[in-house]
Amino acid sequence: MAWEFLNNKTQFGFAHRGGNTVAPENTIAAFAHAQSLGYRFLETDVHVTTDGVLVAFHDNNLERITGTPGAISDRSWAELSEIRLEGGHQIPTMDELFETFPTAHFNIDPKENDAVAPMAAAIQSHGALGRVCVGAFSDRRVAHARELLGPNLCTSPAPAHAATIAASAFGPRPVTFGHGAMQIPSRVGPARLTADMVARLQRLGLQVHVWTINQRTQMEELLEMGVDAVMTDDVDLLAEVLAERGTPLEAC
């Protein structure tokens, strides 16, 4: 199946949480900077407030980014909207991201079970199904998203299914579980991603997206290996590396 989300023409980059070089992660300013560099693919995470508002934020706890203790799931949107990050930035809602970046492709990680239904509702209300891919560390969440949004939703497996898919790629009966992409780290323990593994997964119809790479040498090695995409916090560096390789973000 050809997922609309995966319509890139060349190797490309994801702005992981929008990047963090000019503004705090997962802020409008961070995503806007990435888009100004040519990024069409933006990665974010979502949580839901006590009153059902879906917000773009990675951690369960607010302290690392905002300096304010407590969990997002214990706050209302009115409370969260008053919190300011470094530089005066605010926590955005997923609705804001869809509205502010109407042509961007979003890779979304629902960080808790309760976030899946509001995420699906936001995707539907913005007509964004073709520009969204859902991946999570929970196969239950990924499966729930697919139940709500249907088979046209591009998904990436959680670690358990990812390991099964990777192992099956070397056997007589490979499986994909209906996913469009494999979004994985470059290594898990002693096991490292290889060019052979990348090629085998791609032959199954899966794009290979690797996270989260912030060093030039690793970016170059993975792109040389043939991965479809690299996710990074250092959006300026990856844009430079892709341009040097003759695949600028504008061509993706």
Region label for 119, one of left (φ > 0), alpha (ψ between -120 and 50) or beta (otherwise):
alpha
Answer whether residue 250 shows pLDDT above 80: no
Q: What is the pLDDT of residue 1?
A: 60
- Band of residue 187 on the pLDDT scale cut at 50, 70, 90: confident
Over residues 141-163, mean pLDDT: 95
Radius of gyration from C-alpha coordinates of the chain: 18
Looking at CATH, the fold of the domain delimited by 4-245 is given as TIM Barrel (3.20.20)
Q: What is the pLDDT of residue 252?
A: 62
Express each pLDDT in 62-120 by its tens digit: 999 999 999 999 999 999 999 999 999 999 999 999 999 999 999 999 999 999 999 99
Catalytic hit among 33, 47, 58, 89: 58
Q: What is the pLDDT of residue 192?
A: 87
Active site residue 161: no
Q: What is the pLDDT of residue 210?
A: 97
- Band of residue 191 on the pLDDT scale cut at 50, 70, 90: confident
User: What residue ranges in 181-252 does DSSP mark as E strands?
Assistant: 181-185, 187-188, 191-192, 207-211, 229-232
In percent, the amount of the chain with pLDDT more than 90 equals 89
Active site residue 58: yes
